[in-house]
Amino acid sequence: MKTQGRANSQTMLLNRRSILRLLLGASLGVILGLTGTPFSQMDDPSIVAMVNHQPITQVSFDKALTLFSADKRNMLTAADRQLVLNRLIDEELLLQQALNQGLLRENLDVRQRVLKTLLSAIAGQSAIGVGMNGGSSKALGNFIQQQRQMATIVQLNPEQRNSIHPEVSK
Amino acid sequence: MTPLLRHWILMLMLFATATGALAHNPSQSFSHWTINNGDVQLTFSVKTREVTRLQPVDSESLNARLMRHLDESIDVSSGNIICPQIDKSVPLASAQGYMRLELNFQCSTPGHLTIQIDSFFNLAESHIHYANIRKGNKLSQQYLFTHENRSHTILSDVEKSAGNIVRNYIALGTEHIFGGLDHIAFLLALVLVCGRKRDLLWAITGFTLGHSLTLAFASLGWVAPDMSLVEAAIGFTIALVAVEKVAATTDQGKRLTMATAVALIIMLMVNQRWNIGLSGVSLIGFILLGISYLWPTKGESQSQPFRLFITTVFGLIHGFGFAGALGDFGLSGDQLLWSLLGFNLGIELGQLAIVLLLWVVSTWLSGWLSSDNRRGLSDWSTAALCGLGLYWFIGRSYGVI
């Protein structure tokens, strides 16, 4: 009887241990999953900082330093470099906030500016790639055509789309 | 050999997998070549993340970095004469997270075409490049470029047969499953949870059946799953099998089912409150899957029909993951069925090799193990598998990894 009781308590102890170990493994997995693998990006030499998993690249840091040094007569100090990095981090935080609030989609002014910048970038890129200045509108047309081919576009509610809205008819 | 004897080996292999988990997304790139007489055109695509490995010169953009790198690292020669590149590479529109460039070469000397690709290999030794090469109207040929094998000669007078296509895609399928650490982790979990050889056979059969179906459906374009959801679900299946192992060992299936459901409900509420992560419908699906899978768990082994059914369901999820990889490589209509067959065969061969290797090694080493530590090792290996699965599930759900 005593032996059986001891065996039962031993089994219970082992079972409890199994569950605790499972919980430990699960917790570790959840924490690593939520924080990301810092190792994977932190060892990337082209990234100078991570802001909510969004990288600030060496390229953008160098650009910001160039702009900063243009306004400064003396050599850049370590404090200057840190200041520039802090500004980029603040800018990234504000940008993330704006994106989270849906400013890009909802604010007409922001949307227009972004689209204009994107269009100029495509036109500029095509001019570099092709090695000429003309033909940017053709390149843009091709670009949009390619994007359309890759996108999933579903047009819904044809009745509503074809009916004339009273506001528009006025 | 008792089932627990395998846990030492599983534990060791698991840690090997766990360290590799940090490099879960393999470094790879793709190219599609069209060769018409002397005109050689190629589109090269690679993940943007890979391009950030390239050191910039004078604050150049990622596009400029990739253009410079490709112009320097891809060579085409015909009859041992280097074919000149026509203009510089041209950026093309690409899927989100990828970059795509076009390069053109002119080969005027007749002879065998040799392609040398050095791109990214010096930055990541494990980098793999997949090249799909079409000559005129002939069927495409597939070549694998690795750190050690960066050059291939394209035979001009040999038309590719269906057999060659199948062979090429078998190699790609095998390579994919050996590189897909999450699939290996899932197979490890299956070996762990299936105490007897017969159970494992049922499980592998179900898994094969499931992933063959969805691999075919997705590759044929009949279904287009949300890949981020599929990737997260793959992690979930690994964690779920690990929980089943503990539920069976401790006979606490119902408690662990409740704990799993509560954790997922909390996740659902967080997602709904802050509008992040997976959709509510997806999470409800995971809750139902978790409950229906774990609730009947009692004792060491599930019934074989249930094992077959549930691993088929898991296989359906993993099959979409395989299809994603096949889609990355690219398929064309004239060879779709052959390449699909070859890729699936390759996966099966890789899968069998992994399971057999595990079994043989564990049998060989079984004599070394003492019975005292078996339970502990079983627990730790299960815990590590559960952690890995949840790491992928959570990380992919929130787009962190």
CA–CA distance, B342 with B326 (Å, rounded to integer):
11
Angle at B62 between CA B61 and CA B64, to 5 degrees: 65
Angle at A67 between CA A66 and CA A70, to 5 degrees: 85
Per-residue pLDDT at A37 exceeds 90: no
Residues of chain A with Cβ-Cβ distance to B379 below 8 Å are 17-18, 21-22
Same domain, A93 and A71: yes
pLDDT of the residue at A2 = 67
pLDDT tens profile A54-70 = 778 777 787 788 778 77
**Helix (DSSP H) and strand (DSSP E) numbers for chain B:** 12, 10
Same domain, A65 and A44: yes
Interchain proximity B249–A15, CB inside 8 Å? yes
Please state the rounded mean pLDDT for residues A104-115: 81
Interchain proximity A15–B250, CB inside 8 Å? yes
- Domain boundary at A65, A82, A101, which? A101
Beta-carbon-side half-sphere exposure of residue B387 (alpha carbons within 13 Å): 23
Alpha carbon distances (Å) from A50 to A91, B79, B316: 13, 49, 36
CA–CA distance, A102 with B57 (Å, rounded to integer):
35
CA–CA distance, B45 with B28 (Å, rounded to integer):
9
CA B37 to chain centre: 36
Q: Is residue A155 part of a domain?
A: no
Residue-range definition of the domain harbouring residue A130: 107-148
CA–CA distance, B30 with B28 (Å, rounded to integer):
7
Residue B294 and residue A22 in contact, taking contact as beta carbons nearer than 8 Å: no
Same domain, A46 and A94: yes
Q: Give the one of B53, B224, B387 whose C-beta lies nearest to A25's C-beta.
A: B387
Q: Is residue A164 part of a domain?
A: no
**Nearest-CA distance from B224 to chain A in Å?**
10
Nearest CA in chain A to B396: A33
**Nearest-CA distance from A63 to chain B in Å?**
6
CA A137 to chain centre: 29
Print pLDDT tens along chain B (401 aa). Answer: 455 455 545 544 554 444 444 434 567 888 888 888 788 999 998 888 788 778 777 667 778 888 889 988 999 988 878 899 988 888 887 776 788 889 999 988 777 888 999 998 888 877 888 888 887 766 677 788 888 888 888 865 455 567 777 887 888 888 888 878 888 899 888 888 887 788 888 888 899 999 999 988 888 878 888 888 999 999 999 999 999 999 988 888 899 999 999 999 999 999 998 888 888 999 999 999 999 888 888 766 667 788 888 899 999 999 998 887 777 666 655 667 888 888 889 999 999 999 888 777 666 766 676 766 777 777 888 999 999 999 999 988 987 77
Cross-strand bridge partners of residue B29? B46, B129
CA–CA distance, A157 with B92 (Å, rounded to integer):
33
The edge-to-edge listing of strands for the beta sheet with B81-82 is B81-82, B74-78, B113-117, B151-154
Residues of chain A with Cβ-Cβ distance to B124 below 8 Å are none
Per-residue pLDDT at A95 exceeds 80: yes
CA–CA distance, B398 with B381 (Å, rounded to integer):
26
Cross-strand bridge partners of residue B154? B113
Q: Give the one of B52, B95, B397 whose C-beta lies nearest to A150's C-beta.
A: B95
**Nearest-CA distance from B89 to chain A in Å?**
7
Interchain proximity B252–A19, CB inside 8 Å? yes
Nearest CA in chain A to B65: A59
Question: pTM of this prediction?
Answer: 0.67
CA B147 to chain centre: 19
For A140, the token pair is 């843009």
- CB of B296 within 8 Å of a chain A CB? The answer is no
pLDDT of the residue at A110 = 82
pLDDT tens profile A122-163 = 666 555 444 444 456 777 777 777 777 766 677 777 666 666
DSSP state of B84: P
Contacts within 8 Å (CB) and 24+ apart, B262-268: B264/B290, B267/B397
Among B54, B265, B329, B331, which residue's Cα sits nearest to residue A44? B54
Q: Supply φ then ψ for residue B30, to 5 degrees.
A: -135, 150
- CB of B395 within 8 Å of a chain A CB? The answer is yes
Same domain, A44 and A16: no
Cross-strand bridge partners of residue B398? none
pLDDT of the residue at A131 = 45
Residues of chain A with Cβ-Cβ distance to B396 below 8 Å are 33
CA–CA distance, B62 with A45 (Å, rounded to integer):
14
Q: Please report which helix (H) or strand (E) contains residue B126, including its range.
A: none
| Among B residues 373-392, those touching chain A with beta carbons less than 8 Å apart | 375-376, 378-380, 382-392
Angle at A28 between CA A26 and CA A30, to 5 degrees: 70
Among B212, B209, B184, B183, which residue's Cα sits nearest to residue B305? B209
Q: Please report which helix (H) or strand (E) contains residue B218, including its range.
A: helix B197-219
Same domain, A72 and A25: no
CA–CA distance, B389 with B384 (Å, rounded to integer):
9
Residues of chain A with Cβ-Cβ distance to B92 below 8 Å are 146
Q: Supply φ then ψ for residue B18, to 5 degrees.
A: -60, -40
pLDDT of the residue at B234 = 94
Among B171, B169, B119, B168, which residue's Cα sits nearest to residue B147? B119
CA–CA distance, B284 with B264 (Å, rounded to integer):
8
DSSP 3-state assignment of B156? coil
Q: Please report which helix (H) or strand (E) contains residue A163, including its range.
A: none
Residue with the larger pLDDT of the pair A44 and B166:
B166
Domain count, chain A: 3
**Nearest-CA distance from A79 to chain B in Å?**
21
CA B196 to chain centre: 27
DSSP 3-state assignment of B35? strand
| Among A residues 104-123, those touching chain B with beta carbons less than 8 Å apart | none
**Helix (DSSP H) and strand (DSSP E) numbers for chain A:** 9, 2
Q: Please report which helix (H) or strand (E) contains residue B44, including its range.
A: strand B39-47
pLDDT of the residue at A170 = 45
Look at strands B74-78 and B39-47 and give their pairing: unpaired
Q: Is residue A6 part of a domain?
A: yes
pLDDT of the residue at A136 = 64
Residues of chain B with Cβ-Cβ distance to A147 below 8 Å are 93
pLDDT confidence band for A164 (50 / 70 / 90)? low
Burial class of residue B28 in the structure, from the number of CB atoms within 10 Å of its CB (0-12 exposed, 13-18 middle, 19+ buried):
buried
* Residue B34 region by backbone torsions, left for phi larger than 0, else alpha for psi between -120 and 50, else beta: beta
pLDDT of the residue at B4 = 47
Q: Supply φ then ψ for residue B102, to 5 degrees.
A: -115, 135
CA–CA distance, B33 with B43 (Å, rounded to integer):
7
Residue B140 and residue B335 in contact, taking contact as beta carbons nearer than 8 Å: yes
Count the residues in chain A.
170
pLDDT of the residue at A1 = 60
For A76, the token pair is 């850049």
Q: Is residue A5 part of a domain?
A: yes
Interchain proximity A125–B63, CB inside 8 Å? yes
Please state the rounded mean pLDDT for residues A81-98: 84
Interchain proximity A53–B95, CB inside 8 Å? no
Residue with tokens 């906030």: A97
For B132, the token pair is 């799909």
Same domain, A52 and A91: yes
- CB of A33 within 8 Å of a chain B CB? The answer is yes
Same domain, A114 and A69: no
The residue ranges of every structural domain in chain B are 3-24+180-397, 28-176
- CB of B22 within 8 Å of a chain A CB? The answer is yes
Q: Supply φ then ψ for residue A42, to 5 degrees.
A: -65, -25
Among B139, B129, B154, which residue's Cα sits nearest to residue B76? B154
Same domain, A113 and A68: no
